[in-house]
Structure 1
Amino acid sequence: MKVLQPRWRLLFVFLLIFVALLWPFHSLVQGYYLAELKRKNNQTLDLISANLVSTLQRYEVLPQVLGRLPDVQQALLNPEPEQLHTANELLSTIRDQTGADVIYLLNTEGMTLAASNWLGPRSFIGNNFAFRPYFYDALARGTGEFFGLGNISIKRGYYYGSAVYHDNRAIGVIVVKVDLDFTETLWGEVPERLLVTDQNGVVILTSEPQWRFKASRELSASEQQSIANHKPYTTIEPEPLNLKSEQWVALHNDLPAIDWRVSIFAPRMLINEPVSTAMAVFAVTVLAVLLIFGLLLQRRHYYLERIAMDAQAKQELEESVRNRTQDLQTLNSRLKEEVLEREATEQELVRTQDELVQAGKLSALGVMSASISHELNQPLAAIRSYTDNSKILLTKERYAEVASNLDLVAVLTERMASIIEHLRAFARRNPQASEHVALQPALEDALALVASRRNALQVEIFRDVPEATLWVEAGETRLRQVLSNLLANALDALAEKRSQRCIWLQTSLSQEWLCLTIKDSGTGFTDEALAQAREPFFTTKTSARGLGLGLAICDAIVKALGGRLEFANNLEGGACVRLYLKQIPSAMNLDAQEDRFA
């Protein structure tokens, strides 16, 4: 017994060490499985959040687009049965194409005039929704959003509302409802509990039906009052959810755009079971090691055999190291080859980048050449017209009129030089300072520039421009350049029409803006032209008649002046271009100083 006593004492020491290691090992294993659970749930949380946000954003701008449709505006302006029937069919078709739950149109009193579900048993037509935030927010701010339970459909949904404007006046609200019940069904059945809470902390979407419309936190007085006013849930006093933190592992992801929170609650048993298994395996393993160690202590006569086995193992290890070293050398050689190939590839990439830079320079040079050609065509045509006219006048000895024509040619050549210098400054990204310019003289010069062509086409001009001088923030040459381009485009459109060729010029004032409207009786813009009118080289004309740079240059010039261009079609036919420039009060008028180049 005296011989065995030290051995059993050592075994007892190892047993104490084993007991001391149980707690830190338990914490380590629990932390590992908790991290794995959070990693997996974070992926699920990100996926659900992205899906929810993308579902809502897909419909965010739909009401604003629908509010510009003529049939929608006519249903509000003239709510006759025929107009309302057309609006109902239109909203039903758009609902089928977009997958929205319901699309409906409200007048300024909140009464539903048209709806996509007009033929259904729960039609919204005739119901008043003036109490909903999406209605009065849209009238006040242009757009409105709201989540709630439909008081007619009894379905959860997210509502996007947008004001419908006519002549800058809100005439109604169009609403798109997004179905959120369907989103909830896509989550499937998993051990974790998924839920979404709104800005009030109330559960609106969840994989656990008993949690729906319960409050995840204590509600403030203002939140309770908002719930009572808007009635977004099945109750105006949501019950508390009362989840015990020791039973769940919670992860959250906030959606700031809509002030919602997506959460996953995982039962802690998902961690406890694998941790218990790992602890059992650990305990069995350590006890087995201790048992083996005890057996080794009882068999010391195998000591020499173990030494031999260790020597053999050492020899095998050395052999393994040699083999591994050879493998590493082979791998190192391959890496060197790959490095050389990579360097060659990088050199080729640098050469390709240099070629692309050169191609970009050539492309920019082509754009500038085309721009200059386009901008000089009109003055050159006018100069040719004046010189041809002067030849005829000389034969008739009408020298005063010849001198007048030559003065006009001189003015046009100075303007061509100004245009070339302006385009060169524009290409250098060197914007010129804006000045105070009178609108009427610039408009008269632009009309004079296209007068010969207007007379040839027999175009009638209707003006609604006040006699009092209107001053704007612009530049003389740049403003004349924009006006002549816009008038030339209108004449191009009228050239395709055989009769009733008319152009209307009208000015209006709105706060700090002066708006010049140019309308024609031509064919108007196509949908493609409205979408790409500001893009360089886009044109609906033949290559002999246009390069597609006029409107692009005009748009760039107007933006540099702090204004904007708007393109639309007239309801009665033809194109409509609105030029907005900053208005200068009469007391601040100064002479324009632009285009004094060195």
Structure 2
Amino acid sequence: MTPSLPRRPRWRSLALLALCLAPLLWPLQHLAERYYRSELVSQNRQTLDLFVANLLGTLHRYETLPQILGDLPALRSTLQSPTDPQVVDHANRLLKDICDQTGAEVMYLLDPSGNTLAASNWQAKDSFVGRNFAFRPYYSDAIAGRVGRFFGMGTTSGKRGYFFAAAVHEGARVVGALVVKVDLDHTETLWGKTPEQLVLTDQHGVVILTSRPEWRFRATRPLTDEEHQAIASIQPYPTQAPQPLSLDDQAWLMQTHPIAETGWNASILAPRALIDRPVRTVVAIGGATLLVVMLLLGLMMQRRRNYLDRIAFEAKARRELEMRVIERTSDLEALNSRLKQEVLEREQAQQELVRVQDEVVQAGKLSVLGTMSASISHELNQPLAAIRSYAENAEVLLDHQRTEDARGNLKLIGELTGRMASIIAHLRAFARRDRHALESVALQPALDDALALLAKRRRAMAVELFRDLPDAPLWVQAGETRLRQVLSNLLANALDALTEKANPRCLWISAEQTADGVALLIRDNGPGFTRESLARAREPFFTTKTRTQGLGLGLAICDTLMRALGGELVLANHPQGGAQLTLRLRSAPPGVNLQPPEDPSA
């Protein structure tokens, strides 16, 4: 019997159950649509009420302004003396100051014929002065004694605005009209970039304010002949035949708020996508939940079958595992004995490696001594020759009873023997094995010893030495012999680097006290390090010299000794050329004696 036969009825039952539960998504969609529609309508109603309140607040702020300003004596004087330049100029400046203080776009004064006598923009290119606005309805309302109200596009400025006008009286007689234009463009900018769109229509159904510029001055309904004639006579729009605005009712959800005070209608249009998108999300979540439930049921059924199979499989595997454990235990015991033997062999190899490394360090030290033997023999031969000469001279002087001169020769012989003893002491201190603990060592004497051992070679190569060392001793934590070996190796390497270089050959040595310890810099003007040399300089037996010049152990030994001293050896190239080696050593308290560790007379 194949294992797939009993699974088909179960998966078929799950599919039938899913088909039965799928119609539940239909009422879920309607509930979600009603919920999100009510939320959107409530939110847009509040937004629309705030916009209408802001718009009416702006209009009310300027509504009574023409009636109040109409009683100003300067304006009456202008209507009485329209040809007097001083009177007109005073009225212009007064209207300009009032505009600046109130925030109105423009104020202007009309005579009984509708001609502009004074205006706040009298200095602008599109000044209203001299223009006739008798065709505007706000003028006829003001001359009739009523408050004129009108929205339209300025024929001079080309800007939209709402106009308030009031009559200027001389007693009971109307002698002119004062008009205040309010800029409503900022009400569109306050709307911001939102999916909802603002539409404000006037009494003709023409869009006068909107958050979509392409809808501006379009008719939302067909216009009658009387409305076309009224539009042609008062010119409220930039066109006398507004184009229709076609909106898809299926794409927008509209809410309208009538403004009885102005005869306008404020509407907010919300894209139906704002409702459809979350509704689709809810339906998708419901469908996904249904699918997850079906999958969970299927998985539970599958796990039950797998559980029974796993019990049988685990019982068989347990028996096989027991047999393998027995076999593996015997293998592990044999492996354990072999590992013990390998550990013993590795420990012996490690001890042998330590011994060999120690021998390599000593061999490197003796190699350096062999290189310096010619220089040391020369240093000893010179004092010996001088001693022989002074001794022979002293014998002659004694024969001639010149004891004082003979005593002077003997004193010179004593100084020369002291010099020879110092040279031998430096050599013995360098050659011996240093196995003492770290101690306080003065850096300058150790450096002097290393330079003394290489003095003849440096002079033979005509290497100019530049020293920049402080007068006070720099005490470091080190071993005297190990520190001398490091300094001798590094200085010898610097001289090797200058071998192939033409004069001038220079060697700089400087030291300073830092916050972390003492830093000693050794720099030459040779060829410097290559990229490969910087990467492999600390490797044993890596060298750029010939076999007769070295084994490649110098820097490896120095790096090992510096780490043993708790310091650091830094290799680099100087920006001006040549190699620069930096020794960083730990500071130590001042020691007792600055003399070499061995008695020169020994």
Q: Normalising by structure 2, what TM-score?
A: 0.48
Which protein shows a greater Rg? Answer: 2
Q: Normalising by structure 1, what TM-score?
A: 0.48
